[in-house]
Amino acid sequence: MRTRRPIVVVGGGVAGLATALAAAPAPVRLLCRAHDGSGSASALAQGGIAAAIDPADSAAAHAHDTLQAGAQHNDAAMVHWLCAQAPSAIAWLQTQGVTFDRDADGGLQLGREGGHHAARIVHAGGDASGAALIHALRARAQAAPHIQWRGGVEVDALLLRDGRVCGVRASDGQGHQDEIEAGAVVLATGGIGALFAHTSNPPGADGAGLALALAAGAQSRDLEFMQFHPTALDVGGHCLPLVTEALRGAGAVLCDAAGQRLMAGVHALLDLAPRDVVARQVAQAQRDGSTVWLDARAVTGDWRVRFPSVLAACLAHGIDPRQAPIPVTPAAHFHMGGLATDRDGRSSLAGLYAVGEVACNGVHGANRLASNSLLEGVVCGRRLGALLAGPAGVGVTAAGAQRVERGAALVATELAALRELLWQAAGPQREPTTMRRALATVAVLAQHGWQARLAQQLLLAALQRPSSLGAHHCSSA
């Protein structure tokens, strides 16, 4: 008889927290790199959650915009399901303690972002929605009797028995290792943005979970599709502050060095065109030698309430966005590809599941629609948690299990070189010859660290798609 073993959830962002909470009353071990669960991309998310709540809007219209942004590469059935679930996700988050922003009449305040034909973005704390969600869900998880929280650990190996994942190995900062049996292992480890020279993601968004799953033989999907946010604060460095798309929804416009509108004549939605379109236009202007500015001086209201994160980041670098244009640059932002999963979060490897940005269930297609990421984390996390609370999370013993390790990491200088290679070869604008040259260099680095092996897979996937599609823009196409 199989006994109930804990569900191991790796990652403390919105997707991991939603999964853990929804798995009640099954026992959950929630493992995070940070002791307090901080450091996730979710916590930095300035955009809100897309949901067709306005009576004039509809889930069908939300789905239409999602499919358009994704270049019709999406799983259409998954898209329609996700968009239909969005209003109930907002309601559930409110029961978890999330306080959403309200308008003057007391209704949910709805904003608009790129790719959306309607105002349907629900925010919390202005442009600090991700932090508000993490704060509320983390408090719930830490108080939940079925969840055991353990921070300060790195999951660096999967345990396999008879072709099934049955546990993980976790290592702490003091070199102690602990093998944990699991009825199911859920990867909620985020994306790969930190493998690029410029990113809006935190340093921990380095693809560690994805690399571990691939080392164990799990299948990937759509690795070539990396979204670049068009407006990160252009102050130099690796992890850049994000300048939320909601600013453009509130009237901010992109301009070149001469003060000319950057998106004029490029797309019918102008500055609110899908992110891949805007990011390429910003990147091209930079290649042409121009600094790109986001002029938000026409944005009304109290910035300390509407856009506190952007205001603080700008002021920290000597820029007052209420008085002067903001210098912006594209930055690696969201990975549409990842570990291939079905609609319930199952990977190709028995016992291994994935949710959130590390997973690819087809909902985002070739380019994610703004503010669908927190939505996906909540809705798919709740679905997966409910599934694993049943027999799917029972599992088998890890006695005699094989340990599959992710392997050694690149040293700092090699990692910096890899980031620059990926930025030049697999950034907003791609060219086959450049990608092939980068692949040859990465093949050498792959002998030294897992990050390069993951980059190898991304470049191979990009070269296997010669035609442009969504965020994958190949100049020869």
β-pairing, 164-172 with 177-181? antiparallel
Contacts of 2 (CB under 8 A, 6+ apart): 394, 395, 396
275 is catalytic: yes
Across 373-401, b (16+ Cβ under 10 Å) vs e yields bbbbbbbbbbbbbbbbbeebbbbbebeeb
- State how far the alpha carbon of 252 is from the alpha carbons of 113, 395, 454, in Å: 11, 52, 37
User: What does the alpha-carbon distance between residue 305 and residue 237 come to, in Å, rounded to a whole number?
Assistant: 28
CA distance to 139, 300, 342, 444, 454, per residue, from 174 (Å): 27, 51, 37, 31, 27
The Cα 28–Cα 142 span in angstroms is 11
How many other β-carbons are positioned within 10 Å of the β-carbon of residue 436? 12
Query: Can you tell me the distance from the alpha carbon of 200 to that of 229, in angstroms, rounded to the nearest whole number?
Result: 8
3-state helix, strand, coil in the chain (%, to 5): 35, 20, 45
How far is it, in rounded angstroms, from Cα 314 to Cα 432?
Answer: 37
Contact 365, 69 (CB under 8 A): yes
- The number of beta carbons lying within 10 Å of the beta carbon of residue 477 is 12
Spot the catalytic one: 33, 275, 382, 453. Answer: 275
Asked whether the bond before 25 is cis by omega within 30 degrees of 0, the reply is yes
Tokens 């199989």 belong to residue: 2
Per the CB < 8 A criterion, the answer to whether 326 and 346 are in contact is: no
**Cα torsion angle, 164, 352, 226, 369, sign:** positive
Alpha-carbon gap, residue 8 to 29, rounded angstroms: 5
Q: At what angle do helices 450-463 and 432-445 cross, to 10 degrees?
A: 160
Q: Which of 343, 341, 336, 340 is nearest to 383 (CA)?
A: 343
* Residues with a known catalytic role: 275
